[in-house]
């Protein structure tokens, strides 16, 4: 892509530290949740789980794919189960790992991404055959016939360090909330990581929302403002993500031939619109 930065992994804990270090005068309440939120005339009434009621100028639902704020605001939205199981873990950074590296085989992918001088992140994904149920105990076994770098990682990893997830996709919503209740990140556009863009899009949502909040006096209709600003870019990522999902389900010889013939071109096309700088007030 030329102008974009390196592809790096980051621990959630480190991201939180970076965000927290840059916040001032914010009143935090951790370890709680809300049981209801409701759009009133010009504010949002929130009920906390301990029964306390409070009004806010704006509520941001950034609480992931199964967002309760989304449910309270827009009702039950179906989530599509794309894959039953994948796992992630952190390893000591292999000495010869210069950049992100993907190993792809028949119905299995193994991705290694540098995180720091000393650590790297691993994602292992498999597509189950129609008659197969993927089991955690034997999940990494099919990767033992990958090149030495991969089989050594699989042999050495402590199975207790693996983090398991299903892969889910939320249909893209027409409205990212309601008036002053705004949904961002996976709460509004959860998608499986075939494009590896979920967290990046979530961070972009936060940047754009922050920009809009600081440049407007009136926050009425903020959910619509964000929908307009963000939907097109997110829709692109979602559609390209679905194309990649189809690719993983093609017969192996078809997908590997396709990758060899048009892989690089498609890769550049996939990311080109996402590599464009966001238009924020301060960068205009």
Ligand X SMILES: Cc1cc2nc3c(=O)[nH]c(=O)nc-3n(C[C@H](O)[C@H](O)[C@H](O)COP(=O)(O)OP(=O)(O)OC[C@H]3O[C@@H](n4cnc5c(N)ncnc54)[C@H](O)[C@@H]3O)c2cc1C
Report the residue from 60, 86, 140, 274 that binds ligand X according to the rule CB under 6 A. Answer: 86
Minimum gap (Å) between residue 31 Cβ and ligand X: 9
Q: Which is nearer to ligand X, 11 or 261 (CB)?
A: 11
Are 114 and 99 a contacting pair, CB within 8 Å? yes
206: nearest Cα among 18, 8, 79, 5: 18
Q: Which is nearer to ligand X, 188 or 225 (CB)?
A: 188
Residues 94-123 contacting ligand X, CB under 6 A: 123
Minimum gap (Å) between residue 24 Cβ and ligand X: 21
Distances (CA, A) of 164 to 82, 134, 167: 14, 12, 10
Binding piece for ligand X, criterion CB under 6 A, among 73-81, 89-97, 197-205, 220-228: 197-205
Task: Quickly count helices (H) and strands (E) in the chain.
Answer: 7, 11
Report the residue from 88, 93, 175, 242 that binds ligand X according to the rule CB under 6 A. Answer: 88
Q: Considering the rule CB under 6 A, would residue 202 count as an interface residue with ligand X?
A: yes
Q: Which is nearer to ligand X, 64 or 94 (CB)?
A: 64
Minimum gap (Å) between residue 139 Cβ and ligand X: 13
Distance CA 4, CA 278 (A): 13
Are 206 and 62 a contacting pair, CB within 8 Å? yes
Minimum gap (Å) between residue 202 Cβ and ligand X: 4
Number of neighbouring beta carbons within 10 Å of residue 69: 23
Chain centre to alpha carbon of residue 15? 14
CA torsion, ordered 21, 26, 31, 34, to nearest 10 deg: -140
Residues 12-71 contacting ligand X, CB under 6 A: 33, 62-64, 68
Report the residue from 43, 104, 162, 199 that binds ligand X according to the rule CB under 6 A. Answer: 199
Per-residue b/e over 185-195, b at no fewer than 16 CB within 10 Å?
A: bbbbbbbbbbb
Binding pattern for the stretch 141-180 against ligand X, x by CB under 6 A and - elsewhere: ------------------------x---------------
Residues that bind ligand X in the complex, under the rule CB under 6 A: 33, 62-64, 68, 86, 88, 123, 165, 185-187, 193, 196-200, 202
């Amino acid at each position: 892509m030329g102008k974009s930065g390196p592809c790096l992994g980051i621990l959630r804990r480190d991201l939180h530290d970076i965000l927290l270090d840059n916040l001032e005068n914010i009143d935090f309440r951790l370890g709680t949740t809300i049981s209801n939120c409701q759009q009133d005339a010009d504010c949002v009434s929130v009920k906390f789980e301990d029964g306390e009621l409070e009004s806010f100028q704006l509520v941001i639902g950034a609480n992931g794919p199964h967002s309760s704020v989304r449910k309270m605001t827009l009702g039950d939205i179906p989530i599509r189960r794309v894959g039953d199981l994948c796992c992630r873990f952190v390893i000591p950074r292999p000495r010869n790992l210069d950049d992100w590296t993907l190993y792809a085989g028949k119905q299995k992918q193994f991705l290694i991404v540098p995180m720091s001088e000393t650590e790297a992140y691993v994602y292992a994904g498999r597509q189950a055959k129609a008659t197969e149920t993927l089991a955690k105990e034997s999940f990494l076994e099919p990767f033992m016939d990958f090149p030495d770098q991969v089989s050594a990682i699989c042999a050495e990893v402590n199975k207790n360090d693996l983090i398991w997830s299903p892969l889910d996709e939320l249909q893209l919503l027409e409205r990212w909330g309601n008036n002053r209740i705004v949904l961002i990140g996976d709460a509004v556009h959860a998608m499986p990581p075939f494009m590896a863009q979920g967290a990046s899009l979530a961070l972009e949502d936060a940047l754009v929302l922050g920009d809009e909040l600081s440049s407007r006096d009136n926050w009425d209709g903020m959910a619509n403002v964000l929908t307009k600003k963000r939907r097109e870019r997110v829709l692109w990522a979602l559609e390209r993500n679905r194309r990649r999902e189809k690719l993983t389900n093609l017969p192996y010889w078809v997908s590997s031939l396709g990758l060899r013939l048009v892989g690089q071109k498609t890769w550049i096309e996939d990311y080109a619109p996402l590599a464009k700088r966001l238009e924020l007030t301060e960068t205009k």
